[in-house]
Structure 1
Amino acid sequence: MFSPALLQMILVAALLSLLSAGKLTASDYYVATTGNDQNPGTLNQPFRTVARGISSARQPGDNVIVRKGIYPQARTLNLANPGTADNYISLKAFEEEEVIIDGSNLQKDATLIAVLSHHIRIQGLTVRNSQNIGISIWGPGTRVHAVEVSGNRVHHCQNSGIYAGFNRLHDPVRDLLIEDNVISECSLMNEGGRYNQWSFGAGAGLSRKVTIRNNTVSHCYGEGIGLYLSNKGTIEGNTVHDNFSVNIYLDNTTNTRVSRNLVYSTEDQRFYRFNHPASGIQIANENYQGFNNPSSHNVITNNILIGNYIAISSGSYQRGGGLKHTLIANNTAWGSIGPLLHIDADTSHYKSRISNNIFKQTGNVPLTDIQGSTARIEFSNNLWHGGVPQQSARSTSDLEADPQLINGGSFNPEAYRLSESSPAHNAGIKLPEVEQDFNGKPRSKNFDIGAW
């Protein structure tokens, strides 16, 4: 007969043993068009549906690995089980195989893939024909954070290709990486001027620490890449072209860096708004009832902008707010359909700088369209060519000369390097915020003007 104390110790030890034995190690669950959902989901006995694979991936570190083929979906694929910092839960394509997740059979307004938890990765898929968003990352930051969406091809979605957000500014979706994706033909709900709902090819709203890096975003009937009501974002190294209205848009966004992007228009008139292509990079503050996060402390550097409507623009429509603590530096803007630099009149401009930029106009169009006072915007060391900038944009440190780029006019960023004889060499002012150039090469103590 055991004593009560000894019996209690034995029961506790047995319980701990059971818990330890029951703790599952991470597993790989395979899905194939030849599989069966009654299978165990191994490589040799895969599941048939992606949904079955996702429902099995409950343990941190689990992977759902999908073999080549087309996987039609009638319902949203919800990734709701969380991973951990050391063990993400992943949904990904098998190595070098084309996996197509197709939303043609979804109900109207249904999203194709929805991330509803934290420490999740989505990699290497083709996501197409969503009736709403292609890949959605939605929820409060306390629940939805540390999500990575990389190496996917997302196209023909009625709404955004990849979108993150929530509806509370005090608990924004956060710590996200959207990287190396190709996004095109999205925001189709606006095709033909219908304007049912504005959206991005890739973007986020009510977010914090979202990095959108090295993606190609094109031919979307909304903004190409955008952040709104967001803080501490990064938009870096992307190729963005032929989207609707604005290629890269900061709206009520703060402490965000937009750097080393190639932004252009090929004059594809399907994506013209008001009979002209999208602007390149724009900052503004639209009205959002109940939310307030006026744009400020943003850095726009080392971008190459070609053939947009306006290369760089500050808009004061709706809420206004002006350029506050904003640095626009070392960009190369070439040949816009409208002015290369546009700044709406606003009494709220404050401690902003526009320096070391190349503004080269190629047609009979003004270099600048600056309205109102720029007394609180510092201009310095910009190079102007193809016209005469307004007096309010000039400084004694400017150059008015041909920048002598290698082959300006193409869409190859290499064409916008400075030739050896360019007057832009060593003509800039040193800026600690601009440590690298367009290609990520460290800048020397003698600053060149422009993105290279």
Structure 2
Amino acid sequence: MIHGFGFLSLSASLVFPWALTGLVQGKAITESLFKDVRQSSTDQKMQLPSRKLISQVSTATTYYVSATGNDRNSGRTTSSAFKTIQRAADLTKPGDTVRIMNGEYKNEPDRGSVLSIKRSGTAKAWIKFQAYPGHSPKIKHNTWNGISLGDGVSYIEIDGLEVIGNNASISRSYALSQQYNTSNPLTNGSCISIDGRQRTVHHINILNNKVHDCPGGGISVIAADYVKVDNNTVFNNCWYSLYGNSGISFFLNADYDNNRGYKHFITNNKTYNNRQYVRTLSSGRISDGGGIIVDTSKKGKNGGYKGRTLIANNISYNNGGGGVIAHESEHIDIVNNTVYGNGQSPELSEVQLAAGYSRDVKIYNNIIHGFSGQQVNKNTNNTNVIYDYNLYPKGAVSVVRGIHDVVGDPQFINPSTGDFRLKSTSAAINKGYYWKDLKTDHAGKSRPANKFTIGAYQ
């Protein structure tokens, strides 16, 4: 229990040796901060290329990867595709794209990741790893990470991939037998790991991916800046690791520059069934397994994180820990999320959505729906944390109430199947606060300025 705040714990990364740094853990809301601008330089008047002109022109390459390919191929066409994604990654230069076709891509026995990204793009020429149009490639691993990004890598986009861990091949009894083994990747591996503790990682987009069944974290972001995690589905993670992971976690946020505006985006994601079945080694108890957490950004890698974080339009449900949590963090806006039925771990008296030991946090327009009699929010040792325009069901125990909060039935279409769209008679409709930076809802539907609805769906 940290500072008496029983429903939270510090991120597991505090106990990591360097050998394990890869372990822990939007649709365009402010697209200008992340927009990929390709530089094109042509001069029709030049008949003979000069040496100086050639040095200024960067020609982007598209590489192709197929499960039936060969790493001795050129990788430049679908018929000459590489077999491994790593082969393409090791060749990329700014502006390049790696298109990944159908198939399963697995880690080599001696590798810590299926895909380790070490080459950076630039502000005007991102490097993109994306599913080939119409394809659904799968990265399946039983090592420390499915995809890892670290050591200062920047301007990288990962789009449309499925990353699968090895939960299905692990029994709970085996995991419990390994609960003190800090060096076992079978029980501690994460799906996507972004780790800037050695050198700050920055400008990373994680978009439209399916991330699941990793015994450690789902999408883990440590000591990074300008990270967008948007429209991902993150589920069945955190089950067997001794490091106390969550579905989506941002830890020790680090400033790449002095911008005080939005730099981190956690938007339009669906995160569920992330839960701990093995105690966190550092605390000796079940402590995490939540949907989304921003953790310890008041004590980030470079001191307190100066940028803002937007957590918006997410659906977080049936997780073992909290649905959306800000812990020892600051400069966060938690807006228009739907949290439902979290706190599934019986060891936790977990809330649905809360801030603790934090400051400058705005919690607006959220549907905060827990179990009957459950305490659904908290306000522990906070400064300038505002709850308002949120909806609570009747019978909910809310420690904090804003003057515009609504008590009523959200009338979800079918929460038992994960359908949190609203019926036309929902108490949430048109009761929200106009949040000027949020133009669309979870499904991409426009949010009219004068008719803001509470929750992830307009």
TM-score normalised by length of structure 2: 0.68
Q: Deviations over 1:428-452 (max 9, x none)?
A: 0100121100101110131000000
Aligned in 2, Cα 1:295/1:369: closer, same or farther, shift over 3 Å? farther
Cα–Cα, structure 1 residues 33 and 162, in superposed 2: closer, same or farther, change >3 Å?
A: closer
Q: CA deviation at 1:211?
A: 0.7
Query: Residue 343 of structure 1 aligns with which residue?
Result: 355
Equivalent in the alignment of 1:400: 407
Matched, 1:283 2:257: no
Determine the structure 2 residue equivalent to 1:229: 223
Residue equivalent to 2:318? 307
CA distance in 1 between partners of 2:338 and 2:272 (Å): 12
Task: Indicate if the aligned counterparts of 2:64 and 2:100 stay in contact, CA closer than 8 A.
Answer: no
Offset at 1:81?
Answer: 3.4
Whether the 8 Å CA contact 1:283–1:314 is kept in 2: the answer is: yes
* Count of residues in Structure 1 that have an aligned counterpart in Structure 2: 362
Q: Match for residue 164 of structure 1?
A: 149
Which of 434, 446, 449 in structure 1 is aligned with 2:451? 446
Report the alpha carbon displacement of residue 295 of structure 1 after superposing the two structures with TM: 6.9
The range that moved more, 220-229 or 362-371, is 362-371
Structure 1 gap segments, 5+ residues each: 1-13, 35-47, 111-131, 167-171, 317-321
Cα 1:33–1:311 shift into 2, 3 Å? closer
CA distance in 1, matches of 2:300, 2:387: 34
Q: What do residues 166-218 of structure 1 show as CA deviations (whole Å, max 9, x unaligned)?
A: 1xxxxx31111111111111699995433437664113223221111111111
Cα distance in 1 for partners of 2:159, 2:334 equals 24
- 2:246 is aligned to 246
Deviations 1:356-390 (A, max 9, x none): 00001124432123312x44012210011254444
Distance 1:91 1:213, change over 3 A: closer
User: Is the contact between residue 143 and residue 189 of structure 2 (CA under 8 Å) also seen in structure 1?
Assistant: no
Provide the secondary structure at the position in 2 that maps to 1:362.
coil
Match of 1:207 in 2: 201
The one-letter code sitting in structure 2 at the alignment partner of 1:326 is: I
d(CA) in 2 for partners of 1:31, 1:382? 46
Q: Is the contact made by 1:285 and 1:294 (CA closer than 8 Å) also made in structure 2?
A: no
Q: Secondary structure at the match of 2:415?
A: coil
- In the other structure, the counterpart of 2:380 is 371
Change (3 A) 1:186 1:212: farther
Question: Contact 1:271–1:278 at 8 Å: present in 2 too?
Answer: no
Matches within 5 A, 1:14-413: 49-50=70-71, 52-53=72-73, 56=74, 62-63=76-77, 65=79, 77=87, 79-83=89-93, 85=95, 88=96, 90=98, 92-93=100-101, 98-104=102-108, 106=109, 108=110, 110=111, 132-139=112-119, 146-151=126-131, 152-166=137-151, 172-185=152-165, 192-193=178-179, 194-196=181-183, 200-205=190-195, 206-244=200-238, 245-253=245-253, 255-265=263-273, 274-275=285-286, 278-285=289-296, 292=303, 294=305, 296-308=307-319, 309-316=321-328, 322=329, 324-337=330-343, 338-346=350-358, 349-350=359-360, 352-372=361-381, 374-385=382-393, 387-391=395-399, 393-411=400-418
Deviation at 1:292, TM superposition (A): 4.6
Give the direction of change, closer, same or farther, for the CA distance of 1:31–1:396 in structure 2 (3 Å limit): closer
Deviates more, 1:153-162 or 1:363-372: 363-372
- Counterpart of 2:315, as a letter, is I
CA RMSD of superposed structures (Å): 4.0
Shift of 1:325: 2.0
Amino acid paired to 1:162: I
Contact 2:372-2:396 at 8 Å conserved across structures: no
1:305 to partner: Cα distance: 1.0
Higher relative contact order (CA 8 A, sep 6+): 2
CA contact (8 A) 1:63 1:89 kept: no
Distance (whole Å) between structure 1 residues aligned to residue 49 and residue 412 of structure 2: 73
Q: 1:293 to 1:186 in 2, by over 3 A?
A: farther
Matched to 1:226, the amino acid is S
The letter of the residue matching 1:159 is W
Amino acid at match of 1:446: K
Q: Can you list the C-alpha shifts for 1:96-138, whole angstroms capped at 9, x where unaligned?
A: xx5455445x4x3x2xxxxxxxxxxxxxxxxxxxxx1111102
Counterparts in 2 of 1:249 and 1:163: CA distance versus 1, 3 Å: same
Q: Which amino acid aligns with 1:298?
A: T
2:421 — aligned with what?
Answer: 417
Cα distance change, pair 210–142 in 1 and its aligned pair in 2 (3 A): closer
Counterpart for residue 34 of structure 2 = none
- One-letter amino acid matched to 2:147: I
Deviations 1:6-29 (CA, angstroms, capped at 9, x unpaired): xxxxxxxx9999xx9xxxx99999
Identical aligned residues as a percent: 21
Would the alpha carbon gap of residues 295 and 304 (structure 1) be closer, same or farther in structure 2, given more than 3 Å must change? Answer: farther
Name the CA distance, whole Å, in 1 between partners of 2:411 and 2:366.
14
1:376 partner SS: strand
